């Protein structure tokens, strides 16, 4: 594994400058109750308050900001049913280009509506990876749009890194950062920014037990794909990528997993006591803190709340807790 091409310190600085004004510098919240429960000093980086409701706006906006006028004129494309789709559609609208979004035909109506609201042009496919990729290839061949992968893209990773860069100015120097991991874009960006700007900070990846492919990859030393993931954390179903896995392997301190019940309990706690709306994927990192791992006691701990896009008509605790 070579890490020679990963974004360097200057590229992260440049990423932050490029997207300044195009995304929110999100708030960091604290809770004395959460501190009491966890035994740690917790700082929540609220990317649920980010444009389009998730950190994904950072990476998508940054990737598009690097395209030439000619490239932008062709539009951008991706397949996604989640936050990256909305983020890419929003970024494209902001930069006066088109976003072609391939979505499975069983995607929730609310997610389809959100992409359309930002002007995204949707092509539906069958809900399997083969048809997603085939449909995306067809769309790209028809439009010459530039593909922007949700995480396996260094420009996207550099954009996601800006969330933890901001955190360093918003909290006491972190001993730990807890970060959810799905495809590894946010985690890779966080690892790089801590490596460059706060090397003593340990980054702990947080993953659902029901989609523990990163945990398996970490412990076997090779990239284990996500197969038949089964978890409420719908943003963390994907496999690590060829670009994210090496960064994670090199820099992550540990990967901890939590059960879906622990995730839902943490999510309910955050709604009920912190009064903010978060999605299950964000609750994964809170759940890890709430398990009170020994090494977090009395430490300054940053948690990246990755997003707040959740179906408010079917919140999971109503049926589960």
Binding interface with its own copies (CB under 8 A): 27, 29, 46, 48-49, 53, 268, 271-278, 308, 312-313, 315, 317-318
User: Which residues face 93 on adjacent strands?
Assistant: none
> Minimum distance from CB of 113 to its own copies (Å)?
11
> Minimum distance from CB of 271 to its own copies (Å)?
5
Using the minimum distance from each CB to its own copies, give the nearer residue, 49 or 215.
49
Using the minimum distance from each CB to its own copies, give the nearer residue, 84 or 202.
84
Between CA 58 and CA 190 the distance in angstroms is 13
The pair of structure tokens assigned to 318 is 């109503």
> Minimum distance from CB of 189 to its own copies (Å)?
21
> Minimum distance from CB of 27 to its own copies (Å)?
6
Using the minimum distance from each CB to its own copies, give the nearer residue, 78 or 83.
83
Strand residues in 11-126 grouped as ranges (E) = 28-29, 41-46, 76-79, 99-104, 121-125
> Minimum distance from CB of 317 to its own copies (Å)?
7
Using the minimum distance from each CB to its own copies, give the nearer residue, 197 or 268.
268
Q: How do beta strands 28-29 and 41-46 pair?
A: antiparallel
> Minimum distance from CB of 124 to its own copies (Å)?
24
User: Which residues face 208 on adjacent strands?
Assistant: 258
Using the minimum distance from each CB to its own copies, give the nearer residue, 67 or 315.
315
Between CA 189 and CA 193 the distance in angstroms is 6
Using the minimum distance from each CB to its own copies, give the nearer residue, 16 or 90.
90
> Minimum distance from CB of 272 to its own copies (Å)?
6
Please list, in sequence order, all residues whose beta carbon lies within 8 angstroms of the beta carbon of residue 306, skipping any fewer than 6 positions away: 47, 48, 54, 55, 180, 186, 235, 279, 281, 282, 285
Using the minimum distance from each CB to its own copies, give the nearer residue, 26 or 212.
26
Which sign does the torsion angle of CA 56, 59, 61, 67 carry? negative
DSSP secondary structure letters along 147-196: E--SSSSHHHHHHHHHHHHHHTTTSSPPSEEEEE-SSSHHHHHHHHHHHH
Which sign does the torsion angle of CA 74, 110, 94, 60 carry? negative
> Minimum distance from CB of 46 to its own copies (Å)?
8
First-to-last C-alpha distance (Å) of the chain:
43
Between CA 79 and CA 130 the distance in angstroms is 11
Using the minimum distance from each CB to its own copies, give the nearer residue, 129 or 318.
318
């Amino acid at each position: 594994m070579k890490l020679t091409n990963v974004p360097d310190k200057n590229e992260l600085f440049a990423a932050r400058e490029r997207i300044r004004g195009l995304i929110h510098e999100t708030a960091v919240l604290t809770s004395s109750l959460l501190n009491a429960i966890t035994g740690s000093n917790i700082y929540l980086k609220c990317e649920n308050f980010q444009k389009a409701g998730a950190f994904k706006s950072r990476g998508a906006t940054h990737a598009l900001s690097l395209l030439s006028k000619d490239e932008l004129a062709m539009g951008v494309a991706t397949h996604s049913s989640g936050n990256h789709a909305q983020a890419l559609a929003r970024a494209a609208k902001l930069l006066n280009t088109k976003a072609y979004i391939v979505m499975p035909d069983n995607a929730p109506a609310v997610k389809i509506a959100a992409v359309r609201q930002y002007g995204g042009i949707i092509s539906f496919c069958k809900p399997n990876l083969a048809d997603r990729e085939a449909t995306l290839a067809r769309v790209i061949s028809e439009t010459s749009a530039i593909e922007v992968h949700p995480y396996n893209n260094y420009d996207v990773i550099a954009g996601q890194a800006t969330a933890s860069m901001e955190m360093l100015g918003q909290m006491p120097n972190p001993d730990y950062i807890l970060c959810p991991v799905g495809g590894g874009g946010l985690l890779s960006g966080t690892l790089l920014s801590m490596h460059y700007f706060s090397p003593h900070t340990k980054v702990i990846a947080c993953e659902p037990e029901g989609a523990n492919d990163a945990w398996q990859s970490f412990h076997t030393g090779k990239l284990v794909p996500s197969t038949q993931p089964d978890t409420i954390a719908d943003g963390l179903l994907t496999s690590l990528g060829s670009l994210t896995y090496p960064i994670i392997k090199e820099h992550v301190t540990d990967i901890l997993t939590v059960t879906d019940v622990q995730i839902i309990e943490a999510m309910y706690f955050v709604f009920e006591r912190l009064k903010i709306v978060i999605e299950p994927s964000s609750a994964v990192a809170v759940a890890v803190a709430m398990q009170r791992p020994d090494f977090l006691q009395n430490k300054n701990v940053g948690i990246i709340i990755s997003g707040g896009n959740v179906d408010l008509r079917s919140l999971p605790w109503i049926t589960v807790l």
